[in-house]
Amino acid sequence: MTKPIARLLVTCRGEIAVRVIRAAKEMGITSIAAYSDADADALAVRLADESINIGGAHAKKSYLNQEALLAAADEVNADAVHPGYGFLSENASFANAVTQAGLIWVGPSGATIERMGHKAQAIATARDAGVPVVPGSKGLIESVEQALAATAEIGYPVLIKAAAGGGGRGIRVAHNDDELAAGIAGATQEAEAAFGDGGVYLERFIAQARHIEVQILGDGIDAVHFYERDCSLQRRRQKVWEEAPAAVLTPEVREKICQSAVALAKSVGYSGAGTIEYLYDAGTTEFYFIEMNTRIQVEHPITEEICGVDLIRAMIDVAGGAPLPYRQDDIRIDGHVIEVRINAENPDLNFMPAPGTIDELEWPLGPGIRIDSMAYAGYKIPPYYDSLIGKLIVHGATRDQALGRLRRALTEITLTGPATTIPFFARLLDQPDVADNEFHTTWIEQWMESQQ
């Protein structure tokens, strides 16, 4: 469908709903926040032009409730749906249902989501496009015997990964045959329960790797990249701190990895914003595709800042039928950007979620600071959802300047009430390895263990 969007229903919540509503307002599009019973006081509801209740606090009754969302779209006379991230954003059947209802889905088609959102299939697609992949089981595991045979070739340790997994969940390590046999059974059950899809596959565990990902945008025919992000600082395979550019890459490797992402996007006629994730071995300078996220990502602001682009606006434009708003030659990177994810979690209690009311809130100001958040003084963080309450994004001319700004900005935040991850980032900043850019995907866990 190719007509500019006039009434956009935002079917996510939290900071990303706020981000999408802001873009819609800037574009002169009427924004409509879909909200659950627990989110009546959400900033998204306050900022949106209109809002509509979609059901109970539990996501199954609201943000994951396709029927309720489609009924809401009909009731408010929306002509488009933006799913943000999480929830139904990578659900092919919802994307198809939205399109079948005559609405514009701000994202790739259901068919593309199915092909690239399902990990085992995405790996096969990447391999076909000539993109290097991690040595693995070449498809789903059907039996323990098959897993053992595959592992004889792959070599231990291996990861058992849920094909429908996400958010760092549904991944287990096996170091030997016993762990593999037990892991396959457990992982299959767990994946069935968590993602409604028990499919699992195997991948060689790449030790001390960097997580490097490339932001792309396609219009169904052409695609461009917005360079890469380094998201290696993770806890339990969840990103907590992201940077752009990845200072570890040489210009040659950067060009190669970004070109491979564009090639893969074009090979599937990708339309919308997407991210192609890789593991990078700094020792050999080899990179390996791990998955594609067929949606906007949490850490998209670091790319927006470093490239001076508006990815949310661009994805809305493309969904409305416009050609790519950026030409590859016009996309440049400027300086260095770091984002930290501020979660309502207690770092001293094993990052236990800490919902509750925010009493006082003052964000940092001054040069090079951006805050994407739904928090406000008096806001009661509901216990039902992800604990992300905001992202602090700092931009500097160099990585050192960005680190200094991050340190300064963290000290300027006043946030009382719930525990947050802010003190954790202050401690991370004091680590010489972090300052020296000497880390990998399991660095945080090793550091935390060494402190016990």
Q: How far is the CB of 205 from ligand ADP (least distance, A)?
A: 4
Is residue 294 part of the contact set for ligand ADP (CB under 6 A)?
A: no
Q: Which of 56, 132, 167, 186 binds ligand ADP (CB under 6 A)?
A: 167
DSSP bridge pairs for 9: 32, 81
Cβ atoms within 10 Å, residue 398: 11
Is residue 345 part of the contact set for ligand ADP (CB under 6 A)?
A: no
The footprint of ligand ADP on residues 75-114 (CB under 6 A) is 85-86
Tell me the helix, strand and coil percentages in the chain, rounded to 5: 35, 30, 35
User: Would you say 344 and 419 are in contact if contact means Cβ atoms under 8 Å apart?
Assistant: yes
Core vs surface per residue 45-78: b (16+ CB within 10 A) or e: bebbeebbbbbebebeebbbbeebbbebbeeeeb
Among ligand ADP, Mg ion, none, partner that 342 touches (CB below 5 to 8 angstroms by kind): none
Among Mg ion, ligand ADP, none, partner that 82 touches (CB below 5 to 8 angstroms by kind): none
Determine the residue type at 205: F
Core vs surface per residue 279-302: b (16+ CB within 10 A) or e: bbebeeeebbbbbbbbbbbbbbbb
Q: Which of 7, 115, 210, 239 binds ligand ADP (CB under 6 A)?
A: 239
Q: Which of 55, 107, 108, 165 binds ligand ADP (CB under 6 A)?
A: 165
Is residue 299 part of the contact set for ligand ADP (CB under 6 A)?
A: yes
Structure token pair of residue 370: 């951006």
Closest CB to ligand ADP among 80 and 134?
A: 134
Q: How far is the CB of 232 from ligand ADP (least distance, A)?
A: 7
Core vs surface per residue 209-229: b (16+ CB within 10 A) or e: bbbbbbbbbbbbebbbbbbbb
Q: What x-and-dash track marks residues 186-215 binding ligand ADP by CB under 6 A?
A: ---------x-------xxxx--x-x----
Among Mg ion, ligand ADP, none, partner that 339 touches (CB below 5 to 8 angstroms by kind): none
- Residue 115 is a catalytic residue: no
**Binding-site residue total for ligand ADP (CB under 6 A)?**
30
Options 204, 295, 313, 405, the catalytic residue: 295
Q: Give the Cα-Cα-Cα angle 247, 122, 327 (nearest 5 degrees).
A: 55
Is residue 159 part of the contact set for ligand ADP (CB under 6 A)?
A: yes
Is residue 248 part of the contact set for ligand ADP (CB under 6 A)?
A: no
Among Mg ion, ligand ADP, none, partner that 91 touches (CB below 5 to 8 angstroms by kind): none
DSSP state of 135: S
The footprint of Mg ion on residues 263-282 (CB under 5 A) is 277
Phi and psi angles of residue 401, each rounded to the nearest 5 degrees, phi first: -65, -40
Q: How far is the CB of 360 from ligand ADP (least distance, A)?
A: 26
3-state secondary structure 299-362: CHHHHHHHHCCCHHHHHHHHHCCCCCCCCHHHCCCCCEEEEEEEECEEHHHCCEECCEECCCEE
Sites of contact with Mg ion (CB under 5 A): 277
Sites of contact with ligand ADP (CB under 6 A): 85-86, 134, 159, 165-168, 171, 195, 203-206, 209, 211, 234, 237-239, 277, 279, 290-291, 293, 297-299, 386, 441
- Active site (catalytic) residues: 295
